[in-house]
């Protein structure tokens, strides 16, 4: 199971809070970079980031600092000391309310406080991989973040975000993934639009309708993925039956143990003698 919420409005809002209510903005905490960073040429002391992703951001920045041999000059040369924005409660460009195309409004992942941009000047929207060093990309990916330079179609190499595009184990009720990601912060230069039109991943996780086995399989896969077990999607019908029987057995044995624990041995023995044996 991915560490970060799936990149769709419902999953993001469930995890980070709904930008509609301003919730993510109330859950920001300061991340102090281990090296000096600059915003619009001025030194900054901290980056405000969502509390659930702040530890991962700090870990990635520390990783980068160590990879640079704790050398500020090297960090500066790579452009990583140039901060180009993080939390920003705004919509994906082209997906604002009342947009002329009639698209459903969609919040930028910056509106969740879970995305950060570096060196917008050299890593602008749709500039391929920009100048983003592999070492930096790797540091963020080790924390499970996605990199905008990987997006299909139009890239956003300044951009990292703490969400996932792995296919969902269960169907979700939303109408396809629109573009998102994107860059900048209020006042930062306007490079962005939306990034990848990644309509593929999440939209593809459609449920196969009906049928006892497909329903049972869905139920098992969903339950298993919620406790971190994945890869159960390809079960045969026999395996589905075996798992269901196993589950029933577990409930019976578990119920017996709970009864023992709650009522004591003598009472359970009496109950069995009276009602079952
Ligand atoms: Zn961005």
Listed by start position, the domains of the chain span 9-204, 212-276
pLDDT 10s digit of each residue in the chain, 277 long? 679 999 999 999 999 999 999 999 999 999 999 999 999 999 999 999 999 999 999 999 999 999 999 999 999 999 999 999 999 999 988 899 999 999 999 999 999 999 999 999 999 988 899 999 999 999 999 999 999 999 987 899 999 999 999 887 665 555 444 434 454 333 333 333 334 333 333 333 333 334 565 566 555 555 555 555 554 545 566 666 677 777 778 887 888 788 788 888 788 788 778 877 6
Cα(156) to centroid(ligand 1), Å? 7
Q: What is the pLDDT of residue 218?
A: 57
Beta strands 37-39; 82-83: pairing state: parallel
Cα(116) to centroid(ligand 1), Å? 6
**Model confidence, pTM:** 0.62
Q: What is the pLDDT of residue 206?
A: 35
Q: What is the pLDDT of residue 53?
A: 98
Q: What is the pLDDT of residue 255?
A: 80
Cα(34) to centroid(ligand 1), Å? 21
CB atoms within 10 A of CB 174: 15
d(CA 91, CA 11): 17
Both tokens of residue 239?
């395996």
Q: What is the pLDDT of residue 178?
A: 40
Burial of residue 246 (number of CB atoms within 10 Å: 0-12, 13-18, 19+): exposed
Cα(169) to centroid(ligand 1), Å? 27
3-state secondary structure of 67: helix
Cα(39) to centroid(ligand 1), Å? 14
Q: What is the pLDDT of residue 175?
A: 46
Closest CA to 35 of 5, 1, 63, 14: 63
Cα(1) to centroid(ligand 1), Å? 24
Cα(158) to centroid(ligand 1), Å? 6
Cα(109) to centroid(ligand 1), Å? 8
Q: What is the pLDDT of residue 232?
A: 54
Residues with C-beta atoms within 5 A of ion ligand 1: 115, 117, 159, 183
3-state secondary structure of 1: coil
Q: What is the pLDDT of residue 112?
A: 98
Both tokens of residue 97?
């309310």
Q: What is the pLDDT of residue 103?
A: 94
Residue 65 near residue 36, CB atoms below 8 Å: no
């Amino acid at each position: 199971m991915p560490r970060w919420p799936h990149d769709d409005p419902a999953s993001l809002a469930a995890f980070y809070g709904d930008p509609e209510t301003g919730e993510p903005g109330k859950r920001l905490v300061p991340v102090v970079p281990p090296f000096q960073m600059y915003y619009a040429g001025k030194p900054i002391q901290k980056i405000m980031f969502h509390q659930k992703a702040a530890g991962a951001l700090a870990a990635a920045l520390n990783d980068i600092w160590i990879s640079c041999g704790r050398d500020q000059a090297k960090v500066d040369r790579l452009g990583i000391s140039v901060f180009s924005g993080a939390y920003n409660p705004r919509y994906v460009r082209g997906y604002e309310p009342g947009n002329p195309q009639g698209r459903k409004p969609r919040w930028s992942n910056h509106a969740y406080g879970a995305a950060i941009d570096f060196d917008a000047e050299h890593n602008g929207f749709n500039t391929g991989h920009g100048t983003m060093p592999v070492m930096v990309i790797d540091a963020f990916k080790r924390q499970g973040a996605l990199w905008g330079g990987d997006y299909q179609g139009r890239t956003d190499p300044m951009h990292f975000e703490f969400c996932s595009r792995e296919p969902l184990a269960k169907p979700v009720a939303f109408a396809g993934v629109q573009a998102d990601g994107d860059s900048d912060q209020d006042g930062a230069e306007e490079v962005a639009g939306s990034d990848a039109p990644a309509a593929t991943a999440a939209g593809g996780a459609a449920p196969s309708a009906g049928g006892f086995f497909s329903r049972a399989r869905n139920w098992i896969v969903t339950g298993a993925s919620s406790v971190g077990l994945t890869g159960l999607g390809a079960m045969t019908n026999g395996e589905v039956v075996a798992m269901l029987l196993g589950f029933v057995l577990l409930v019976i044995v578990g119920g017996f143990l709970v009864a023992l624990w709650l009522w004591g041995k003598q009472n359970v023995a009496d109950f069995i003698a009276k009602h079952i044996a």
